[in-house]
């Protein structure tokens, strides 16, 4: 239905303007905030950048859960820095979305009342310390796979935000892999925890790339507009190809009996995730959806006095300025 809305809006627009816009995209030019753009392009970007920002913010919760229980002071400091980075990513992305004419408050309200989504992955619980390894290795690994091409996306502010985010995500992925290495080389109990974390996070990580191409409603148009640079299945395949040798290096087993190297396609054949689970999770029925949204609502309500105080301060400063003029 959303795709139909985009289409009908696009056909109402001046065909000459649309053609000139598409020519700029095809020539690899960046679109900047003050440039003319089709309503559907703006809407798709607000949806994608907004969801991406929300994912960074909600994504702090499963890892924040382990800051007080990190096994050493060094691990605590590293995890704390990583979670703070995610907050920063959310803020760059909200700023990029604001250049499209939507405010951060509006976006937040849409997250809090369920009108906007965030990544499915953050609706799964983090049960053990090994999950911090699996999240860094697989979740940030999947995020990088998706976000490196987005550095070349057609909308300038989004592409530029991605450059710094990708650098930080690389550090996140390595810290996760380092935790997995330590656990996999540790005691038998630690190795079992690492394997269990891989077992639980493998398919949810594959789901991060979105539904299979045949069910992806937005991919075709988003790729024409170069908002997306690859299809969901292309990136998922790349992620599987890179992660399987890493699991082997750790001495862990990817929980997929059908996993096989396919010489002809130059990639692994693998089992698809359970798509009914994916659709249930994005419709609000995952293991942690209720907790995540409750936590964000509480944070928003608890922070109301800070927002009010800052607005009152800004009003006061403006009044003093006007009086002085």
Q: Which residue's C-beta sits nearest to ligand BYC?
A: 59
Residue 2 interacts with ligand BYC (CB under 6 A)? yes
Residue 104 binding ligand BYC, by CB under 6 A: no
Q: How far is the CB of 266 from ligand BYC (least distance, A)?
A: 23
Residue among 126, 175, 219, 237 that touches ligand BYC (CB under 6 A)? 219
Smallest separation, CB 281 to ligand BYC (Å): 7
Asked if 119 touches ligand BYC (CB under 6 A), the answer is yes
SS3 155: strand
Long-range own/partner contacts, residues 252-261 (CB < 8 A, 24 or more apart): 252/180, 252/184, 252/194, 252/195, 252/198, 253/195, 253/198, 254/198, 254/202, 255/198, 255/199, 255/202, 255/203, 256/202
Distance CA(2)–CA(4), nearest Å, equals 5
φ/ψ (deg, to 5) at 261: -70, 130
Element (H, E) at 260: strand 260-262
End-to-end CA distance of the chain: 53
Query: Cα separation of 62 and 31, whole Å?
Result: 35
- Single out the residue of 138, 207, 250, 293 in contact with ligand BYC (rule: CB under 6 A): 207
CB atoms within 10 A of CB 301: 10
Q: Is position 195 an interface residue for ligand BYC (rule: CB under 6 A)? A: no
Tell me, residue by residue from 42 to 71, as one string, x for binding to ligand BYC by CB under 6 A and - for no binding: -----xx--xx--xx--x------------
Q: Choose the stretch contacting ligand BYC; rule: CB under 6 A; options: 22-30, 136-144, 156-164, 298-306.
A: 136-144
Q: Which is nearer to ligand BYC, 224 or 248 (CB)?
A: 224
Positions that interact with ligand BYC (CB under 6 A): 2, 47-48, 51-52, 55-56, 59, 86, 117, 119-120, 139-140, 143, 146, 207-211, 216-219, 222, 228, 232, 282
């Amino acid at each position: 239905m959303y795709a139909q809305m985009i289409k009908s809006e696009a056909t109402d627009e001046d065909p000459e303007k649309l053609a000139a816009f598409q020519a700029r995209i095809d020539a690899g030019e960046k679109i900047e905030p003050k440039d003319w753009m089709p309503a559907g392009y703006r809407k798709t970007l607000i949806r994608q950048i907004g969801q991406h920002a929300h994912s960074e913010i909600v994504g702090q919760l499963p890892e924040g859960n382990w800051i007080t229980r990190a096994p050493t002071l060094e691990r605590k400091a590293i995890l704390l820095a990583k979670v703070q980075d995610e907050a920063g990513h959310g803020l760059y992305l909200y700023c990029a979305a604001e250049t499209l004419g939507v405010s951060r408050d509006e976006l937040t309200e849409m997250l809090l009342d369920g009108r906007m989504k965030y990544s499915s992955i953050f609706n799964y619980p983090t049960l053990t310390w090994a999950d911090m390894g699996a999240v860094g290795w697989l979740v940030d690994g999947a995020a990088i796979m998706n976000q490196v091409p987005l550095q070349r996306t057609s909308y300038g502010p989004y592409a530029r935000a991605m450059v710094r985010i990708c650098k930080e995500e690389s550090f996140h992925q390595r810290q996760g892999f380092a935790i997995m290495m330590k656990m996999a080389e540790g005691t038998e109990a630690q190795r079992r925890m690492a394997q269990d974390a891989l077992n639980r996070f493998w398919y949810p990580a594959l789901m991060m790339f979105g539904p299979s191409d045949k069910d992806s409603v937005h991919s075709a148009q988003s790729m024409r507009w170069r908002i997306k640079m690859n299809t969901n299945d292309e990136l998922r395949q790349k992620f599987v190809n890179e992660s399987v040798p890493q699991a082997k290096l750790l001495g862990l087993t990817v929980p997929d009996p059908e996993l096989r190297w396919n010489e002809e396609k130059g990639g692994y054949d693998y089992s698809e995730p359970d798509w009914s689970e994916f659709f249930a999770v994005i419709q609000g029925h995952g293991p942690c959806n209720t907790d995540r949204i409750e936590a964000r609502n509480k944070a928003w309500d608890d922070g109301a006095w800070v927002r009010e105080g800052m607005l009152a301060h800004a009003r006061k400063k403006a009044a003093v300025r006007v009086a002085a003029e």
